[in-house]
Amino acid sequence: MYDIIIIGSGIVGSLVAYDLSRYRLKVAVLEKDNDVANGTTMANSAIVHAGYDPEDGTMKALLNVRGARMYPQLCRDLNCIIKNTGAFIAAVGEEEEQVLDVLAARAEKRGIACELLDGDTARGLEQNLSDNVTKVLSIPETCIIYPWEVAYAAMETAIRNGVELFLNTEVTGIDKVPEGYLVKSGTQAYEARMVINAAGTGTAAIDHMVSDRVDFEPRPRRGEYFVIDADIDYVSRVIFPVPTAKGKGVLAVPTVHGNTLLGPTSEPIEDADKKETSFAGLESVRQQLQKTMKNPPLRNVIRSFAGIRASGTSADFLIEELPDAPAFVHAACIDSPGLASAPAIAAYIRDTFVGKYMPLEETPDAVMTRPAPVVMKNLTPAERDAMIRRQPLYARIICRCEQISEQEIIDCIHGPCGARSIKAVKKRVRPGMGRCQGGFCEPRVAAILARELHIPLTEVLLDSRNSRILEKENR
């Protein structure tokens, strides 16, 4: 019997687990995928929005502002990368300039620093800003993170504090039982007093397993992007167009590792699992980008990808207990700014719902910080030397683009929520994220995974459960 079952290990589920792991509670996380943070948290713009954008009086406004303020400390505690790049919202023409005034007023009211700049001043700071841009609202507080790093770092820490994570565990049914809920996954069943449904695009389907009064419908929206080579310095802060009724528009976003993201589109799709890119979508990124940016570095694209927003018929986040299912809480319609809000969503769920049903008693041995993993690239020569003397495999470079050693890969496989696939390794230590995109190191990473997990090479997965990379041994 668990006190709490969390469904989903995206940024929301992971941070809820992390937050609850400081209390005397028995918590389990059920995740259908074979790795944490493989859903929307894996494919987004990675921006910690400062919180000027959501309309007054919404949950989005409340939680975004709070969440953004929690991130710097959270990232310090978890040893995660966060960069305070700032952002520009770029207006073209008078009508858009008026929107900037509205946003500026909103920002000031919420205590978010901002400044209006004329086009030329802005171009002096961001040389690839389009010549058509007439005015810019500068938001110095905006940060960028490495979203799935925050999620797995939080989950790792939660696991160290006793939270149980069940991967490859898709929730397929839920029974109401006297003491709470029986959450089923195939032939397995897990009982808990309370359930927190943080299943991203899967939230509605799970709600329907316990409730007849689900008051929203999912309307997933796809967003497609290009990733630009880290050698190209295109922007040094996030550049937004002025938001319109159609959405936030196409941005240029620096990433914490020096790449640039161009995107996303926003297009309704039927199937929230379809993370494919499309010819039309990528073309639309190219077109829309021209509104605010010039010299798009499209010759230096190293890949493209798509992410699916868990949008729904509610424009605002829905974080509530279901009316006909006590102690069953969902975090639904967590589209943008879900990432920025996630730490505050976790705190809100704790204070509003968990506290209502169970005592929040801190355990003295909970450790809420995460030791920094060894990243050889960031060490001084003397420090590297010392590491290599302890473990020579820190000197065997597997990924030449990102200069990642064999031991760093081994470390991430054996961590508390260790990597089980080539992509999971890539998420944690980044071999294959550089300019050769894994052409050179992928076979080597596969061999290390096979050896460390004691599985044959033919069982090594690229990503999902059925994504074997090799067909058979050729003997």
168 forms part of the interface with another protein (CB under 8 A): no
Instruction: Find the part of the chain contacting ligand FAD (CB under 6 A) among 19-27, 41-49, 117-125, 446-454.
Output: 41-49
Quote the DSSP letter at residue 394: G
Q: Which of 4, 17, 20, 47 is close enough to bind ligand FAD by CB under 6 A?
A: 47
29 forms part of the interface with ligand FAD (CB under 6 A): no
Does 49 participate in catalysis according to the annotation?
A: yes
Residue 466 binds: one of ligand FAD, another protein, none (C-beta under 5 to 8 A by kind)? another protein
Per rule CB under 6 A, count of chain residues that contact ligand FAD: 40
Peptide bond into 323 cis (omega under 30): no
* Token pair listed for 376: 């050889």
Of 188 and 295, the one with the shorter C-beta distance to ligand FAD is 188
Beta pairing, strands 221-228 & 325-332: unpaired
CB 249, min distance to another protein, A:
21
Contact 284, 125 (CB under 8 A): no
The DSSP string of 41-54 is: GGSS--EE--S-SS
199 forms part of the interface with ligand FAD (CB under 6 A): yes
CB 121, min distance to ligand FAD, A:
25
51 phi and psi angles, rounded to 5 deg: 115, 20
| Coil, helix or strand at residue 113 | coil
19 forms part of the interface with ligand FAD (CB under 6 A): no
Identify which of 413, 332, 349, 383 has the alpha carbon closest to the alpha carbon of residue 156: 413
Identify which of 416, 415, 441 has the alpha carbon closest to the alpha carbon of residue 426: 441
Distance (Å, rounded) from C-alpha 299 to C-alpha 327? 52
Question: What is the helix (H) or strand (E) element at residue 106, kind and residue range?
Answer: helix 94-109
Q: Which of 125, 182, 256, 301 is close enough to bind another protein by CB under 8 A?
A: 301
The DSSP string of 325-357 is: EEEEEEEE---TTHHHHHHHHHHHHIIIIIHHH
* Token pair listed for 438: 């894994």
30 forms part of the interface with ligand FAD (CB under 6 A): yes
| Coil, helix or strand at residue 159 | helix
Q: Which of 403, 416, 452, 453 is close enough to bind another protein by CB under 8 A?
A: 403
320 forms part of the interface with ligand FAD (CB under 6 A): no
Q: Which of 3, 19, 31, 402 is close enough to bind ligand FAD by CB under 6 A?
A: 31
Contacts of 102 by beta carbon, 8 Å cutoff, 6+ apart: none
Binding residues for ligand FAD restricted to 138-197, rule: CB under 6 A: 170-171
Q: Which of 314, 397, 416, 452 is close enough to bind another protein by CB under 8 A?
A: 397
**Which residues contact another protein (rule: CB under 8 A)?**
226-227, 231, 273-279, 281-282, 301-305, 381, 384-385, 388-389, 392-393, 395-397, 400-401, 403, 435-440, 442-443, 447, 457-458, 461-475
Residues that bind ligand FAD (CB under 6 A): 7-13, 30-33, 38-41, 44-47, 49, 170-171, 198-202, 206, 223, 264, 307-309, 334-340
Give catalytic residues, as residue numbers. Answer: 49
